[in-house]
């Protein structure tokens, strides 16, 4: 009987334990993606990126003699319908770790078991299952460094090759189409601009990894903090949708380390930051929308997402060039350099004294590499409310950050048009990407900050002091 392979955030054929097991089970494989409430709740850019990823997966499946079936509705109902239609005897999937997915999947598993259908979930979105890493006391880790030390020497399996053929069923179940779904319609702005900066699918992911391992990993430790330099792997968007397995990235890093490449260990550490984010989210899911640290609920943040300061931040019009460049990179490419994420997030939560949830939600709307765990951890880390966070009072000075990490100004001038005689293509692309209602043009005068850096810093420290006093 057929096995249903329920694809979710694992849009690949290689190193896919649930797929390999489905093929090994014998019988045809029905590759299914379900547009359920979790998909509908995604932000505009993640949805748009998902459409690209699904199109790429469908092509890969066709090359392997199979097909991607698309259905919408609540996951349990859709699975039961497809089981009825095809006589499938088993459903396989790879585990996710956010609370909504966990709840959905356990309900699905119970319902399938009840009706006598095999239900198997597999690891693959992470290197280390969150429950397989624990402190000596049996608790979860709340600090990164000991987490890293606990996992770095662990033996991990080899990656598994993609099956060369994925047996097709005798008759195909009905499928909806990606164009009917219109997942990219949510980008009611210049999706085609962003598309020029985004590649999707397993092949693109493998190419990105190969390029990084060949040309960039050696200098990664030295160069990764400069937003104007293409020094990082750019793997996050593929990892987010599982177009490449973290294990493939890990093994490439290990090979580079064995070959004596300097930056390789730093790269492995970054992959483990992703693991740490998942470890935290799994053990402490409130991290997704509540301050992780005690006492922070009374912090004097602005929580209104519609203030002029928030709009200026979203538009890259705060008047602080490094922040504005970062926000425009986000809008045009769907990504933002990690250093720039830290600076832009710090400016919002400290100088502008806005709640980190406002920034988290905007990133969720705009990032093609959006990841629930890394985004929440990143925001809480910067804001000071999170586990192992930067102390609140250590406030990044954006000017100092710009001088240190964008010394020659190439990042700022690449993304900002205002005040430049001859702005480059990326700076201009911003105006094709934004909604008309923003009414911005490259000839606008450069933005002026609503307060000086010193004023913002003092206000932030005063708010922090008040919270401390109240505690």
Exactly one of 67, 224, 317, 412 binds ligand FAD (CB under 6 A); which one?
224
**Which residue from 369, 406, 418, 426 is in contact with ligand FAD, where contact means CB under 6 A?**
369
Sign of torsion over alpha carbons 137, 141, 142, 147: positive
Bridge partner residues of 120 (DSSP): 92
Q: By CB under 6 A, is residue 277 in contact with ligand FAD?
A: yes
Asked if 384 interacts with ligand FAD (CB under 6 A), we say no
167: left (phi over 0), alpha (psi -120 to 50) or beta: beta
| CB-based contact 350:313 (threshold 8 Å) | no
Is residue 375 a contact residue for ligand FAD (CB under 6 A)?
yes
The residue sitting closest to ligand FAD, measured at its beta carbon, is: 378
140 contacts ligand FAD (rule: CB under 6 A): no
Work out which of 175, 307, 338, 410 binds ligand FAD, going by CB under 6 A. Answer: 338
DSSP readout, 130-184? Answer: GGG---TTSPPP-SHHHHHHHHTT---PPPPPPPS--PPPSSPPP---HHHHTGG
| Binds ligand FAD by CB under 6 A, chosen from 342, 343, 368, 416 | 342
Residue 423 in 3-state DSSP?
coil
Nearer to ligand FAD, 122 or 273 (CB): 273
Identify which range of 105-113, 376-384, 392-400, 463-471 contacts ligand FAD by CB under 6 A: 376-384
Residue 107 Cα distances to 74, 116, 120, 372, 463, angstroms: 11, 14, 13, 21, 44
Q: Does 345 bind ligand FAD (CB under 6 A)?
A: yes
Tell whether residue 220 is among the known ligand binding residues: yes
Residue 317 in contact with ligand FAD, rule: CB under 6 A: no
Tell me if 379 contacts ligand FAD by CB under 6 A: yes
> CB 458 → ligand FAD: shortest distance, Å?
23
Task: Report if residue 273 touches ligand FAD, rule: CB under 6 A.
Answer: yes
- Over its C-alpha atoms, the chain yields an Rg (Å, rounded) of 23
Q: How many beta carbons lie within 10 A of that of residue 432, not counting itself?
A: 12
Question: Do the annotations mark residue 267 as ligand-binding?
Answer: yes
Nearer to ligand FAD, 66 or 245 (CB): 245
For 168, what's the count of Cα atoms within 13 Å in the CB-facing half-sphere? 13
CB of 373 to ligand FAD, least distance (A): 8
Q: Of residues 67, 76, 92, 274, which one binds ligand FAD by CB under 6 A? A: 274
* CA contacts within 13 A on the Cβ side of 375: 27
Q: Does 83 bind ligand FAD (CB under 6 A)?
A: no
Which residue stretch of 69-77, 138-146, 195-203, 366-374 sits at the interface with ligand FAD (rule: CB under 6 A)? 366-374
Residue 421 in tokens: 């005689």
- For the bound state, the minimum distance from the C-beta of residue 244 to ligand FAD, rounded and expressed in Å, comes to 10
Residue 452 annotated as binding site: no
Q: Is 234 in the site for ligand FAD (CB under 6 A)?
A: yes
Does the annotation list 371 as a binding residue?
Answer: yes
Question: Which is nearest to 109 in space by CA: 124, 97, 96, 93?
Answer: 93
The one segment of 132-140, 317-325, 375-383, 407-415 that binds ligand FAD by CB under 6 A: 375-383
Alpha carbons within 13 A on the beta-carbon side of 395: 22
| Piece of 1-9, 102-110, 341-349, 423-431 that binds ligand FAD (CB under 6 A) | 341-349
Residue 374 touching ligand FAD (CB under 6 A)? yes
Query: What's the rounded Cα separation, in Å, for the pair 237 and 202?
Result: 11
For residue 145 the two structure tokens come to 């460094």
Helix (H, G, I), strand (E, B) or coil at 252: helix
251 binds ligand FAD (CB under 6 A): no
Listed residue (471, 279, 276) closest to 392, CA to CA = 471
d(CA 26, CA 24): 5
159 binds ligand FAD (CB under 6 A): no
- Mark 209-226 as b/e (b = at least 16 C-beta within 10 Å): beebbeebbbebbeebbb
Q: Least distance to ligand FAD from the beta carbon of 336, Å?
A: 7
Binding residues for FAD: 220, 232-236, 267, 369-371
Where on the chain is the footprint of ligand FAD (CB under 6 A)? Answer: 224, 232-236, 239-240, 270-271, 273-274, 277, 338, 341-342, 345, 363, 367, 369-371, 374-375, 378-379, 382
């Amino acid at each position: 009987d057929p096995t249903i392979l329920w694809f979710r955030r694992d849009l690949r054929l290689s190193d896919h334990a649930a797929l390999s097991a489905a093929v090994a089970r014998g019988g045809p494989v029905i590759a299914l993606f379900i547009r359920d409430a979790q998909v509908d709740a995604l932000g505009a850019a993640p949805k748009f990126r998902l459409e690209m990823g699904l199109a790429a997966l469908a092509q890969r499946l066709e090359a392997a003699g199979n097909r991607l079936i698309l259905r919408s509705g609540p996951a349990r109902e859709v699975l039961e319908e497809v089981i009825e239609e095809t006589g499938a005897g088993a459903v396989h999937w790879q585990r996710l770790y956010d609370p909504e997915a966990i709840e959905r999947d356990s309900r699905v598993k119970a319902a399938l078991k009840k009706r006598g259908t095999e239900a198997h979930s597999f690891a693959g979105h992470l290197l280390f299952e969150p429950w397989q890493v624990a402190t000596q006391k049996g608790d979860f880790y709340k600090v990164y460094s000991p987490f890293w030390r606990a996992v770095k020497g662990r033996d991990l399996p080899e990656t598994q090759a993609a099956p060369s053929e994925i047996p097709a069923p005798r008759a195909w179940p009905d499928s909806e189409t990606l164009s009917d779904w219109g997942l990219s319609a949510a980008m009611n702005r210049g999706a085609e601009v962003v598309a020029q900066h985004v590649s999707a699918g397993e092949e693109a992911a493998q190419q990105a990894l190969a390029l990084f391992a060949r040309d960039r990993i050696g200098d990664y430790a030295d160069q990764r903090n400069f937003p104007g330099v293409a020094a990082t792997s750019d793997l996050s968007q593929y990892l987010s949708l599982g177009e490449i397995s973290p294990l493939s990235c890990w093994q490439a890093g290990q090979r580079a380390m064995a070959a004596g490449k300097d930056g390789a260990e730093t790269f492995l550490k970054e992959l483990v930051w992703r693991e740490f984010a998942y470890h935290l989210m799994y053990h402490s899911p409130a991290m997704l929308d509540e301050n992780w640290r005690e006492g922070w609920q009374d912090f004097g943040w602005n929580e209104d997402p519609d203030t002029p300061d928030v709009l200026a931040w979203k538009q890259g019009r705060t008047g602080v060039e490094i922040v504005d460049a970062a926000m425009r990179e986000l809008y045009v490419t769907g990504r933002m350099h990690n250093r720039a994420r830290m600076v832009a997030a710090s400016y919002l939560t400290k100088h502008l004294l806005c709640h980190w949830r406002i920034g988290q939600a905007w990133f969720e709307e705009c990032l093609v590499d959006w990841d629930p765990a890394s985004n929440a951890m990143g925001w809480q880390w910067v804001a000071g409310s999170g586990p192992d966070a930067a102390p609140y009072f250590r406030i990044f000075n954006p000017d100092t950050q710009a001088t240190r990490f964008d010394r020659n100004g190439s990042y700022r001038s690449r993304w900002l048009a205002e005040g430049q005689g001859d702005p480059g293509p990326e700076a201009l692309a911003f105006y094709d990407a934004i909604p008309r209602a923003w009414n911005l043009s490259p000839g606008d005068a450069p933005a002026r900050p609503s307060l000086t850096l010193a004023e913002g810093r003092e206000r932030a420290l005063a708010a922090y002091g008040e919270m401390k006093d109240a505690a």
